[in-house]
Amino acid sequence: MNLRDIHIPVMLERCVELLAPALDKPGAVYVDGTLGMGGHAEAFLERFPQARLVGLDRDPNALRIAGERLAPFADRVTLVHTVYDGIRDALDAAGIERADAILYDLGVSSLQLDEAERGFAYAQDAPLDMRMDPTGGITAADVLATYGEGDLRRIFERYGEEKLAGRYARAIIQARAEAPIDRSGRLVDILQDATPAAVKNAGHPAKRVFQALRIEVNGELAALERAIPAALDALAVGGRIVVLSYQSLEDRFVKRLFAEATASTSPQGLPVELPEHAARFRLLVRGAEQASEDEAARNPRAKPVRLRAIEKLREVS
């Protein structure tokens, strides 16, 4: 298996360009908060021979594959089995106080999508698992079997932004009374049957429901809500963070946190901004950047990406 063929890191050159100023020095620490199969990490280790990697992932299989891929750099690599909000504990365990560069490549990984038996993809019939860490926690089948109609509607609306959330929730409650919904193929059939003919051509009816279930099963937004502030705190002055988001919920959340971090805290009416109220961070890109048309054509998984980046200017006074 050639990982370079099956796993193409999204917006790699732009990530390198943005993080390079923080890494081009002896002893620099690069944290890959969503290591996956190690594509981004491998490139950074190759290009910055003085940098050390702390790689985080909740998926043991991803850590195994990344470990094999990064074996040539083993003396500069620390891999940690944890969710990406565990960055502070991971750095402490490695004896590191501050990170110089941090990358979060959010969402489901290529590895998880390509392993049909894990149930992430609605295009293939498989057990409804969807756990990024298959060693514990509830599955998507558990959610469908135990959540009430109101809770199902809530997660479909909130995490999938699904307009037919109520209709789909009712259909699932009715269907599970007849037999458990434990395979993706059956869930897709239920959703298709519940979709009005007038909107059946407006995208696959399972796309947003599967996204919502995946986010619920893995607690993705809750983890992100903890991860970004923890990463900002763990960053050294002059350090940089790049976040790649693939859905509007994630991107809006990152945008809000970055806006708060780059705002002055000076009280209104002061004629001069006091140093202790100056912004602790500055944005490195205007708005959110997208992959180029060429990259999106080469790598379809880059099409929805939104990149945001920030630099730390000072510690808290």
Q: In whole angstroms, how far apart are CA 166 and each of 75, 149, 201?
A: 53, 8, 19
Same-domain pairing of 118 and 214: yes
275 pLDDT higher than 80: no
pLDDT above 70 coverage of the chain, percent: 88
Strand partners, 86: none
* Residues of the domain holding 14: 3-105+220-312
pLDDT attached to residue 279: 82
**Across 252-270, average pLDDT:** 82
Same-domain pairing of 100 and 119: no
Determine the Cα–Cα distance for residues 226 and 241; give it in Å rounded to an integer. Answer: 15
Pairing of strands 235-245, 306-312: antiparallel
Domain boundary (218, 249, 268) is at 218
pLDDT attached to residue 65: 92
pLDDT attached to residue 272: 60
75 is in an annotated binding site: no
Widest CA span in the chain: 69
38 is in an annotated binding site: yes
Pairing of strands 29-32, 52-57: parallel
Q: Of 43-47, 245-249, 271-275, 296-300, which gets the smallest average pLDDT?
A: 271-275
Same-domain pairing of 122 and 209: yes
pLDDT attached to residue 79: 97
39 is in an annotated binding site: yes
5 pLDDT higher than 70: no
Domain boundary (218, 253, 283) is at 218
Domain boundary (201, 218, 235) is at 218
Same-domain pairing of 93 and 139: no
Of 11, 10, 17, the closest CA to residue 37 belongs to: 10
Question: Cβ atoms within 10 A of the Cβ of 173, count?
Answer: 14
268 is in an annotated binding site: no
Threshold 0.85, pTM exceeds: yes
Residue 317 within a domain: no
| Total domain count, the chain | 2
Q: For residues 45, 50, 56 and 60, what is the CA-based torsion angle, rounded to 10 degrees?
A: 60
Q: What is the DSSP secondary structure assignment for residue 70, as one 8-state letter?
A: T
40 is in an annotated binding site: yes
Same-domain pairing of 54 and 199: no
Same-domain pairing of 308 and 248: yes
- Count, residues in the chain: 317
Q: Specify the CATH number for the domain of residue 21.
A: 3.40.50.150
Residue 214 within a domain: yes
Same-domain pairing of 244 and 195: no
Q: Specify the CATH number for the domain of residue 151.
A: 1.10.150.170
Determine the Cα–Cα distance for residues 177 and 179; give it in Å rounded to an integer. Answer: 6
114 is in an annotated binding site: no
pLDDT in tens, 137-147: 999 999 999 99
84 is in an annotated binding site: yes
Q: Of 3-7, 14-18, 44-48, 71-75, which gets the smallest average pLDDT?
A: 3-7
pLDDT in tens, 211-227: 999 999 999 999 999 99
Same-domain pairing of 224 and 210: no
